[in-house]
Structure 1
Amino acid sequence: MRLIKSTIHPAINDLSANSFTRKATRAIVLNGENILLLYTKRYHDYSLPGGGIDEGESKIEGLIRELKEETGAHNVTNIREFGLYEEYRPWYKADFDIVHMLSYCFVCDIDDELLEPELEMHELDNGMHPEWVNIHQAIAHNEQTIASSDKKGMSIERETYLLKLIEQELL
């Protein structure tokens, strides 16, 4: 899979610090200029559906599971690689200083009808829900959040970069 981008968070000065790797998938589902995204009220941002790959699970199995859990999408077909986004980010829990985040991005198709999502409690607490959004509006929204919000999460830069690349390469 092609490497889209590799980033190191500005708060990290030493990559030899105690770290772990987290592998995740991200789904790119388009319908014209509309894209299936997750809106998170807590961070006031849009992100691609996806999440951590479970132990013993392939990237594709993780993609399909996460897409179903977060959006209710089913009958995932025509899966193709888009690229890998690599990040080194601070980790704020005991045992590690850095998380090496690998986000494997795939383009895919789904059935038109979304079933009920199976969101985790912390996702519900953060006000997360799936939404079809015009990609240009999602990019503008995230850029506004980056520029003016103190609520933004660490992933918004990745998500906005990916949305712009999707816009450039797939529309």
Structure 2
Amino acid sequence: MVTAALASLTLSDFSMKMRMFSAGAMALALSSCGSAPQTDPRLGSVATQVIEIQVSPKVNNDSPVAVDAVLVYDATLYDQLLQLPARDWFAKVEQYRLDYPRGFDVWRWEVVPGQVVQPQLLPDTVVQAIGMIVFADYFAPGDHRAAVGATRGIRIYLLDKTFAIEPFLPPA
């Protein structure tokens, strides 16, 4: 029966059916391109509730150091900031505020050597962020930037020439 149906098709009919099939397949493929917006798989990956900072007595050649914890809500901005050295972040942060007015929030500290810093509680809105990046404005060469993973608490250790981040579980 199938052979009889195929035999009755002329070359022109077959060609026409193939073109219609191809056009339909193409339309289906293209329709998925403009479908509902895709959410970023990283969205909601921030769980940090508290930030603690410990400062070395010899931090930054015995000089103050600025530290920014940046909660990022815009995927394009997040990818840009992951490539940005801290020196550039601190030089351009005001321009980023103009370019991405709702793209990020910043918690900033300016600390001096040996300073005791009280823990900083973050708002519940952190769960809406794509990611968190910490920048420290050291004199020493280096990127002085770190992405923070999904952890409820972080300790930032401001060492002499660089910094380190350690996750911890804050008390409930």
TM-score, normalised to structure 2's length? 0.26
* TM-score, normalization by structure 1: 0.26
Query: 1 or 2, which has the higher helix percentage?
Result: 2
Rg larger in structure: 2
